[in-house]
Chains A and B, each alone.
Chain A
Amino acid sequence: MSEHRTDRQNIDDFMLELFDNIAEYRSIREESSAALRQAFFDLALAKRSAGYRWISPDLYSANAQAIATVAVCENSCEVVGGIYRRDIREIAGPDGSSSDCSDDAVDSEKDALSKRCSNSQKSKAKKKCKASDNPLLWFGMLVPPKLKEAQGGFAASLDHFIRLAQLKRSMQLKQDAIKQSLEAVDA
Chain B
Amino acid sequence: MAVTFWYGCNMTRHGEVIRATLRLMQAVGITAEATGGPASCCGAPKEPDARIAGAMGARTVAQFNASGTGHVVTWCPTCHMNMQDVMAPATPTNFETLHVTELLHASRDALRPLLTRHVPARVLLHRHLGFDGRVPVNRLVADLLALVPGLELVEHELDLPGHMCSALAAVPGGLAQAQRATLAAMAESGADTLCTIFHSCHRELVGLEQGRAFRVANWVHLLAEAAGWDIADDYKAWRNAPDPRAAVGADGLASVGEAVFDRLVAPELRRPRPV
B partners with A:
no
B interface residues with partner A (beta carbon < 8 Å): none
Query: Chain A interface (Cβ within 8 Å of chain B)?
Result: none
